[in-house]
Amino acid sequence: MVITMKKHLLLFAVSVFFCTFAVQAEEIVLPKFGFTAHRGENGVFPENTVIGFQEAVRLGAAQVEFDICRTKDGHIVIMHDNTVDRTTNGKGNVADMTFEEIRKLDAGIKKGERFAGTKVPTFEEALDCLPRNIWINVHVKNSPVEAAEMIIKKKREHQAFLACTRKAALLVKEKYPQIKICNMEREGGDVSKYISNTIAWKCDFIQLLKLGTPEEMKALKDAGVRINYTIAKDPEHYKELRKAGVDFPLVDKASKFVEAAKE
């Protein structure tokens, strides 16, 4: 009886060990290529909103890009422009408004009545609404260290990266070396210098405005740098960029690029 009980306990312990090991060994597989939904699905849906991000995911985005800004009272919200004028029913600079004032705005009404009442999301809400198996491209206008801390808090270091200047990247890396960086120090349009610096600085991503030479594109690949490009004009342009070695072309009106991405 005692021997049988010990045997059962041993088998139970072994099974627990292997189950735990299997869970720990399970890795999230991130896309190697695909389209990046620029500010979410921004064609039909309001840009830089939770519903726009969710629609981009539904369409199959490999990467979602959005912009973060800081309010007067220190909250990080999702907004591309320095002002709220273009995308909401309000007026004013984000930096001059409190979070409460920002939240009272309607970020959907300009895209149609069906989106009325859509709120400007916080950075935390944006991270929370996205799955863990796509890339998250966080374009940083300010508060890079605070953005890094939120990524760590939400356990998104494996997928979220900060698209920022060299100065911001150094600030972040000094404190949080595990944070991924997309180099946005574009050297005044000097593509060759932009590419060589990105490699030298061991950045994880680059976001090109213009393609490098075939040799430069290969050098990025060899260095393990993932290549974004702003912006694919249409599905045919998207295909050309992919053939040239771009991993994740940024696109507006994401629904128009679904078929091209599948090909």
Active site residues: 38, 80
d(CA 227, CA 32): 10
Cβ burial of 97 (10 Å; 0-12, 13-18, 19+) is: buried
Residue 72 CB contacts under 8 Å (≥ 6 apart), including other chains: 95, 96, 97, 98
Residue 31 CB contacts under 8 Å (≥ 6 apart), including other chains: 62, 63, 133, 134, 135, 248
d(CA 110, CA 85): 11
d(CA 91, CA 16): 58
DSSP string covering 170-222: HHHHHH-TTSEEEE---GGG-HHHHHHHHHHTT-SEEEESS---HHHHHHHHH
Cβ burial of 87 (10 Å; 0-12, 13-18, 19+) is: buried
3-state helix, strand, coil in the chain (%, to 5): 45, 20, 40
Cis peptide before 206 (omega within 30 of 0): no
